[in-house]
Amino acid sequence: MTGNEMSGASEGGMERHQYDVVVVGAGGAGLRAAIAAHEAGARTAVVCKSLLGKAHTVMAEGGIAAAMGNRWPEDNWEVHFRDTMRGGKMLNNWRMAQLHAQEAPERVQELEDWGALFDRTEDGLISQRDFGGHKYARLAHVGDRTGLEMIRTLQQRTVQLGIDVFMECTVTELLKDGERISGAFGYWRETGRFITFDAPTVILATGGIGKSFKVTSNSWEYTGDGHALALRAGAALINMEFVQFHPTGMVWPPSVKGLLVTESVRGDGGILRNSEGKRFMFDYIPEFFRSETADTEEEADRWYDDKKNNRRPPELLPRDEVARAINSEIKAGRGTPHGGIYLDIASRRTPEFIRKRLPSMYHQFKELADVDITQEPMEIGPTCHYVMGGVEVDADTQESAVTGLYAVGECSGGMHGSNRLGGNSLGDLLVFGKRAGEAASAYAAGLGAARPAIRDEDLKAAQASALAPFEVEGGENPYTIQQDLQQSMNDLVGIIRTGAELEESLREIEAFKERARTMVVEGHRQYNPGWHLSIDLRNMLLVSEAIAKAALAREESRGGHTRDDFPKTDNEVWGTKNLVVTLDAGGTGVDLHEKPLPVMPDELKKYFD
């Protein structure tokens, strides 16, 4: 493993490495891609801005969606494909949804072959649990710590295979030779020294964008770096208006506001009540899901005992529906003392059951909020959780519009359409991580001697851009701008949007960009979080603009995009196209384009008759 202390570069010098495939990001997507690239014979490196093992994937709780049929033999890829497309309100790239549904079971099985220990059914098969929007129980899981087991397994394999890992190393620029990728440039977080990777392929696996919002389940790393790097390199982003607000984040105490409360609580029997004690989700069943959703408490409760013959409880509608319903109840004044809604599993399951199935949730509430979830309800509310939008890629290879640039996992777009079903991210990481790693290594192998080269002037420009905040005098500190941006995105581009607020948001983003041009960083390059933030902030601003612009253009409500001024889903105008974002001519903002949806073949269309 490569660490700062092993870098060998002289003080202030530039370290340089040669690889065939450089993977930026060490979550599930990045590690699976690196394993595939290495196994295909490519010289492979993984670069990640925090420690190896500390990616979002490790926080994933509920499970990996895969139609293995262990609980319901009637489950199969076709049903999973149909659920995914319906959950995404038909804007998903159908080919990605198909590949995902077909290949996820094999990828889960492979994880087990590599040493992952899943919970078991009574028959000794991998256990599968219920989640919103999935017709059958199909999330392979390890209690409510699935991501931890997944990362542990992938990380162990990465290390075993001897793949080079550069941790606490942030990539700030992608480098190109003409239209082709030639490498990546970044810095060591500890020393501030620069580092360059000469490589004909880069796989972006940098995760999400949640840190642009004030209330979020995301951690400090998720500043949309991959999204912004891709834009600046000439690739396009798709579906950026669709941001998933998870229905259940903690609302109290303030220090942990937004921290995720897994959907497994509802999958395992938890229900939502307002301050009047009403189980309100029955009032919010949309027409689209009415035929398969229980409309009485009795029928909903029977489902937990006899899932086969009953319609699903409304608490297990897709996340966008549940988050909007919670938001409406709170707005109508039926919220809890801390501005949330009650999530109650205590009155419905035994303490033993809760502690066994939801150990992390039990400890999370006990330690952080002094609430015993086996005895009393939790207070929860929506939290910015996941971005459906990301780099537009080819479904089979994950290659972007830029030759040699691939994107995978949360920073890629298309797979989830307007709304992701729970559990479909972890499956996505494995399926498309493998595909991207294989495609990138095949492309690199085919280049022979015709490898792209890095130009000196591009390296100088990358250094100058990274150091720019040190050159300014008398400007503002990046933390203030970041806080203002987060508040603004929360207030104006949040769960419910209007045209006027989105226009205001774009004006505010322009003002933040102006302030960021003169932001100032104190001190020197050695471990300097203010400097790191000043670099990340540029990405956050670009990505925020992409979200707000796309959200303003889409004059309808669908999935993770709700317009108060256009509350209906308008299939005629908006059901046939996606919005795509590219960098504008000035290089500091974005342009918006419409793109027709790829046409689904007839043999798949039949599932939606």
CB of 213 to ligand FAD, least distance (A): 13
Q: Phi/psi at 292 (nearest 5 deg)?
A: -110, 10
Q: Does residue 318 belong to the site contacting ligand FAD (CB under 6 A)?
A: no
The window from 4-12, 44-52, 292-300, 589-597 that contacts ligand FAD (CB under 6 A) reads: 44-52
Question: Residue 403 has what DSSP assignment?
Answer: B
Candidates 71, 266, 311, 416; catalytic one: 266
CA–CA separation, 260 and 249 (whole Å):
4
Q: Does residue 55 belong to the site contacting ligand FAD (CB under 6 A)?
A: yes
CA–CA separation, 289 and 508 (whole Å):
38
- Which position among 4, 9, 43, 50 is part of the footprint of ligand FAD (CB under 6 A)? 50
The window from 26-34, 471-479, 487-495, 523-531 that contacts ligand FAD (CB under 6 A) reads: 26-34
Token pair, residue 576, equals 């046939």
- Which position among 38, 49, 211, 257 is part of the footprint of ligand FAD (CB under 6 A)? 49
Q: Is 414 helix (H, G, I), strand (E, B) or coil?
A: coil
Q: Does residue 440 belong to the site contacting ligand FAD (CB under 6 A)?
A: no
CB of 406 to ligand FAD, least distance (A): 13
Token pair, residue 375, equals 């005895």
Q: Does residue 386 belong to the site contacting ligand FAD (CB under 6 A)?
A: yes
CB of 441 to ligand FAD, least distance (A): 18
Q: Does residue 104 belong to the site contacting ligand FAD (CB under 6 A)?
A: no
CB of 249 to ligand FAD, least distance (A): 9
**Residue 254, exposed/middle/buried by CB under 10 A (0-12, 13-18, 19+)?**
exposed
- With CB atoms as reference, the residue minimizing the distance to ligand FAD is 27
Q: Does residue 60 belong to the site contacting ligand FAD (CB under 6 A)?
A: yes
Residues 389-407: b if buried by 16+ CB within 10 A, e if exposed: bbbbbbbebbbbbbbbbbb
Q: Phi/psi at 185 (nearest 5 deg)?
A: -125, 140
For residue 135, which of 70, 73, 80, 183 has the smallest C-alpha distance?
80
Q: Does residue 281 belong to the site contacting ligand FAD (CB under 6 A)?
A: no
Q: Does residue 547 belong to the site contacting ligand FAD (CB under 6 A)?
A: no
Q: Does residue 93 belong to the site contacting ligand FAD (CB under 6 A)?
A: no
Candidates 134, 246, 497, 561; catalytic one: 246
For residue 80, indicate whether it is catalytic: no
CB of 46 to ligand FAD, least distance (A): 8
Residue pair 209/56 in contact (Cβ under 8 Å)? The answer is: no
The window from 36-44, 45-53, 352-360, 459-467 that contacts ligand FAD (CB under 6 A) reads: 45-53
Q: Does residue 207 belong to the site contacting ligand FAD (CB under 6 A)?
A: yes
Question: Residue 191 has what DSSP assignment?
Answer: T
Residue list 164-203, contact with ligand FAD (CB under 6 A): 170-171
CB of 245 to ligand FAD, least distance (A): 13
Place of tokens 């956050």: 540
Residue list 363-382, contact with ligand FAD (CB under 6 A): none
CB of 36 to ligand FAD, least distance (A): 14
**Residue 514, exposed/middle/buried by CB under 10 A (0-12, 13-18, 19+)?**
exposed
CB of 278 to ligand FAD, least distance (A): 28
Q: Does residue 57 belong to the site contacting ligand FAD (CB under 6 A)?
A: yes
Residue pair 122/448 in contact (Cβ under 8 Å)? The answer is: no
3-state secondary structure 279-341: CHHHHHCCHHHHCCECCCHHHHHHHHHCCCCCCECHHHCCHHHHHHHHHHHHHCCCCCCCCCE
For residue 593, indicate whether it is catalytic: no
Residue pair 195/166 in contact (Cβ under 8 Å)? The answer is: yes
The window from 27-35, 174-182, 358-366, 566-574 that contacts ligand FAD (CB under 6 A) reads: 27-35
Q: Is 410 helix (H, G, I), strand (E, B) or coil?
A: helix
| DSSP secondary structure, 57-75, as one string | GGG--S-EE----SS-TT-
CA–CA separation, 514 and 509 (whole Å):
9
Q: Does residue 209 belong to the site contacting ligand FAD (CB under 6 A)?
A: no
- Which position among 2, 217, 293, 441 is part of the footprint of ligand FAD (CB under 6 A)? 217
Q: Does residue 146 belong to the site contacting ligand FAD (CB under 6 A)?
A: yes
For residue 273, which of 198, 201, 358, 335 has the smallest C-alpha distance?
335
* Residue placing its CB nearer to ligand FAD in the complex, 274 or 425: 425
- Which position among 218, 244, 400, 528 is part of the footprint of ligand FAD (CB under 6 A)? 218
Residue list 392-411, contact with ligand FAD (CB under 6 A): 409-410
CB of 328 to ligand FAD, least distance (A): 24
- What residue type is assigned to position 185 of the chain? F
Q: Does residue 25 belong to the site contacting ligand FAD (CB under 6 A)?
A: yes
Q: Can you count the helices (H) and strands (E) in the chain?
A: 18, 21
* Residue placing its CB nearer to ligand FAD in the complex, 33 or 294: 33
Q: Does residue 26 belong to the site contacting ligand FAD (CB under 6 A)?
A: yes
Token pair, residue 415, equals 């797979």
Token pair, residue 164, equals 């080079």
CB of 359 to ligand FAD, least distance (A): 14
The window from 49-57, 277-285, 353-361, 471-479 that contacts ligand FAD (CB under 6 A) reads: 49-57
Q: Phi/psi at 197 (nearest 5 deg)?
A: -110, 115
The window from 23-31, 459-467, 504-512, 519-527 that contacts ligand FAD (CB under 6 A) reads: 23-31
| DSSP secondary structure, 82-126, as one string | HHHHHHTTT-S-HHHHHHHHHHHHHHHHHHHHTT----B-TTSSB
Please report, as ranges, the residues that interact with ligand FAD according to CB under 6 A.
Answer: 24-30, 47-50, 55-57, 59-63, 146-147, 170-171, 205-207, 217-218, 221, 225, 260, 386, 409-410, 422-426, 429
Positions marked catalytic: 246, 266
